[in-house]
Amino acid sequence: MHTPESKEKTSYSILIIDDEETVRKVCKFVLIKAGHVVHSAESGFQGLEILRSNSKIDIVITDLKMPNMDGQTVLREVKRDWPHIEVLMMTGYATIEYAIEAMKAGAADFILKPLSTDQIRVAINKCIDKINLNHEIEELRHTNKKLMELKDIKEKFLAITSHELRTPIGHIKGYFNILNDDFINEMSQEEIAECKNIINNAIFDLEELVNSMFDVVRFRQKEIELNIEDVKPAELLQQIKSAFRLALEERHLSLEIDNYSNGLVLTADRLKLKAMLTELIKNAIKFTNDEGQITVQITTVDNQCHIIVKDTGIGIPHSEQGKIFEPFYEVQHSDYHSSGETSFKGGGLGIGLTQVKEIVKAHGGEIKVESSVGEGSVFAVAIPIEFKGDAM
């Protein structure tokens, strides 16, 4: 289906369809004088061919009675394939029934023959007003949709962050009260040290949470600076695998790294690249059933490093796949949000994959996802081996 241009214009592209050459010439003279671009056709078939080859047509003026294909048929064809185009009907045989039928089929107006200059101008201006009104309505719909999306993001942000903040704050408050209570006199030095350690870890989690949110904002505003250096992705993956060793063992998950890159060295931001890979693997762990398999492949193709993270997890519905990189979006509903970064279907802030996409984009790469419910997911990252700069 063809769609209209979104911005208002002063000059419009108009197609005249009439088997009478005199009518075509009169319309063309008036419309060109008014500053419009005019096309003409002597039959309905020729007119439709012009429409198929010219996506810029805004208005069609067609005669009602023509041989082979009449104006009603032209009207139906236009409204079916180009619903945004306004159609004016011309006839010297008009009846109320014809007019009602044409208006029901989507005609903007009826012009009676013989034509007058004023008739043509008034009818065209009416179409232009309708086109502009439709553009304004479409822009309002688009704005309203964006506002609803922002409202939805805000609600998800409040729901998820309140949960994510509550856990570390609860730890800090609870263990701080213990240390300030008379009960501390009965505690051993090891127990006191453990309480302090829990508080420190909770503070660290809060800092990570806040930094993650700021990172997403900075990436989107292109305020993140990349510290480019030589990086071996295979080494980063081994470090990440070691970091997740306990989680993998606890869940009986297999994580295999297939390195076909022959000691590949990238020029990239080491910390950002590691954060991106960590998030992809953590995501695979979260959404893979216990005893499942996760495979990471590294290959090189045409001066690009391809990193593919594949799991045998629960998969992502096709309808959700275009949304998973949006901030604060989670496949499971935020009402059922739960903590646990590596527990099965565990929660998070909902910005991990947003960060992944922004990091990949910042390095001049792209990320794609393929997934089937019940069969697992494949995240494929492609980034240049040599960082070119100005990717953001």
pLDDT per residue, tens digit, the chain (392 aa), is 444 444 557 789 999 999 999 999 999 999 999 999 999 999 999 999 999 998 789 999 999 888 889 888 999 999 999 999 999 998 877 666 777 788 888 888 888 888 888 889 999 999 999 999 988 999 999 889 888 877 776 676 666 666 667 777 888 888 888 888 777 788 888 888 888 888 988 888 788 777 766 766 666 666 667 899 999 999 999 999 999 998 899 999 999 999 888 789 999 999 999 989 999 999 999 999 999 999 999 999 989 999 999 999 999 998 888 888 877 666 654 443 344 555 554 455 456 788 899 899 989 999 999 999 999 999 999 999 998 765 55
Q: Where in the chain is the domain with CATH 3.30.565.10?
A: 228-384
What fold characterizes domain 228-384? Heat Shock Protein 90 (3.30.565)
Tokens 């922004």, located at residue: 358
Q: What single-letter DSSP state applies at residue 322?
A: T
For 151-220, which CATH class?
Answer: mainly alpha
The ranges of the chain annotated as CATH 3.40.50.2300 are 13-141
- Nearest Cα neighbor of 116 from 86, 87, 92, 96 is 92
Question: What is each CA distance from 4 to 53, 77, 391, in whole angstroms?
Answer: 15, 17, 31
Which ranges in the chain are annotated with CATH 1.10.287?
A: 151-220
Q: List C-alpha distances in Å: 201 to 2, 248, 340.
A: 56, 21, 15
Q: What is the Cα–Cα distance from 29 to 56, expressed in whole angstroms? A: 20
Q: Which CATH architecture has domain 13-141?
A: 3-Layer(aba) Sandwich (3.40)
Burial of 23: CB neighbours in 10 Å, binned 0-12, 13-18, 19+ = buried
| Other Cβ atoms within 10 Å of 266 Cβ, number | 24
**CA 149, 153, 154 angle in degrees (round to 5)?**
115
pTM above 0.75, yes or no: no
